[in-house]
């Protein structure tokens, strides 16, 4: 089955700096890669997603890049703010975006004011 | 549109009991997936229903089951509860092939 790994497990950055979170996946059949943000005690919220036919997608301060050959994808957050502090999960799915998502273990991002 | 809702929000059960959790998807969404979230194992996929049919299933024992109704509302049932079933159970709804939107979850504690 699919295996998704996230690195690092924790990340601390200064407010205003950029943060990059990397994920690798194992199943070449995976073609949908969402990123979720989960604040303490709250539900995971989709922040950005990318499909395998696209190499990069950007939404304001957030971007995701995908390298299908190397089987890794990354979340880039620019101009970080304290409210970006949360746990970020990457996931991969073989098709049918809501179907059978395999999640990484999550990364705790702390943005220092 | 109203978001995904889950009931109940909290449950306390004892070992051996069974439990039923409910999920109401966003209006128009026909896909509902269920996930178990624990500190040790993270988010793990249980199963997905689409148009009342189970379309995908994760690697959980048969004690975990689900169903979906014609209005797309979904229920999951856990029988013969074990201590290790204590977790946050999340459902996510989507249009077919669309991103998933999570509900607030049901926190299940098994004593």
pLDDT digits (tens, 9 = 90+) for B7-36: 999 999 999 999 999 999 999 999 999 999
Q: Taking residues B87-94, what's their average pLDDT?
A: 95
* B99/A46 Cβ within 8 A: yes
Do B91 and B45 meet the contact criterion of CB atoms below 8 Å apart? no
* A1/B94 Cβ within 8 A: no
pLDDT at site A79: 98
Cα A35–A76–A104 angle (5° rounding)? 35
A99 — pLDDT class (breaks 50, 70, 90): confident
Cα A40–B36–B48 angle (5° rounding)? 125
Q: Which residues lie below 8 Å from residue B3, measured CB to CB, with a gap of 6+?
A: B26, B101, B103
Closest residue in B to A106 (Cα) is B42
Question: B5 and chain A: CB distance < 8 Å anywhere?
Answer: no
Could you give the maximum distance between any two Cα atoms of chain A, in Å?
A: 41
Compute the distance between CA of residue B81 and CA of residue A63 in angstroms, rounded to an integer. Answer: 42
Helix (H) or strand (E) holding B55: strand B53-57
Q: Which of A12-16, A81-85, A93-97 has the lowest mean pLDDT?
A: A93-97
* A96/B42 Cβ within 8 A: no
pLDDT at site A63: 97
Closest residue in A to B104 (Cα) is A43
Three-state secondary-structure class, residue B71:
coil
Q: Taking residues A92-102, what's their average pLDDT?
A: 77
Closest residue in A to B105 (Cα) is A43
Question: B56 and chain A: CB distance < 8 Å anywhere?
Answer: yes
Residue B100, pLDDT above cutoff 90: no
Compute the distance between CA of residue B34 and CA of residue B42 in angstroms, rounded to an integer. Answer: 13
A98 — pLDDT class (breaks 50, 70, 90): low
Rg (CA), chain A: 13
Per-residue pLDDT tens digits for A39-84? 999 999 999 999 888 889 999 999 999 999 999 999 999 999 999 9
Compute the distance between CA of residue B86 and CA of residue A37 in angstroms, rounded to an integer. Answer: 22
* B92/A104 Cβ within 8 A: no
Do B19 and B86 meet the contact criterion of CB atoms below 8 Å apart? no
Q: CB-CB: which of B55, B96, B100 is closest to A101? A: B100
- Residues of chain A contacting B100 with CB distance shorter than 8 Å: 34, 46, 97-98, 101
Higher-scoring residue by pLDDT: B37, A100: B37
* B104/A98 Cβ within 8 A: no
pLDDT at site A77: 97
pLDDT at site B82: 98
A97 — pLDDT class (breaks 50, 70, 90): low
Residue A96, pLDDT above cutoff 60: no
pLDDT at site B58: 92
Distance of CA B15 to the CA centre of its chain: 19
Do A91 and A66 meet the contact criterion of CB atoms below 8 Å apart? no
Question: B10 and chain A: CB distance < 8 Å anywhere?
Answer: no
Give the residues across from A13 on adjacent strands.
A111
């Amino acid at each position: 089955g699919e295996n998704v790994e996230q690195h690092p497990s924790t990340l601390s950055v200064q407010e205003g700096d950029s943060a990059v979170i990397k994920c690798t996946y194992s199943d070449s059949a995976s073609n949908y890669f969402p990123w979720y943000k989960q604040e303490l005690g709250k539900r995971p919220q989709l922040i950005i997603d990318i499909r395998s036919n696209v190499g990069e997608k950007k939404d304001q301060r957030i971007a995701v890049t995908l390298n299908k050959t190397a089987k890794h994808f990354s979340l880039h957050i620019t101009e970080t703010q304290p409210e970006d502090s949360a746990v970020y999960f990457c996931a991969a799915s073989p098709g049918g975006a809501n179907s059978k998502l395999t999640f990484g273990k999550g990364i705790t991002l702390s943005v220092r004011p | 549109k109203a978001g995904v809702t889950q009931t109940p929000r909290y449950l306390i059960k004892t070992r051996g009991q069974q439990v039923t959790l409910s999920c109401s998807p966003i209006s128009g969404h026909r896909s509902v997936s269920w996930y178990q979230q624990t500190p040790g194992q993270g988010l793990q996929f249980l199963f997905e229903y689409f148009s009342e049919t189970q379309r995908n299933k994760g690697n959980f024992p048969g004690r975990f089951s689900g169903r979906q109704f014609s209005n797309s509302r979904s229920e999951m049932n856990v029988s013969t509860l074990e201590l290790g079933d204590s977790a946050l159970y999340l459902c996510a709804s989507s249009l077919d092939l669309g991103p998933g939107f999570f509900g607030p979850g049901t926190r299940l504690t098994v004593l």
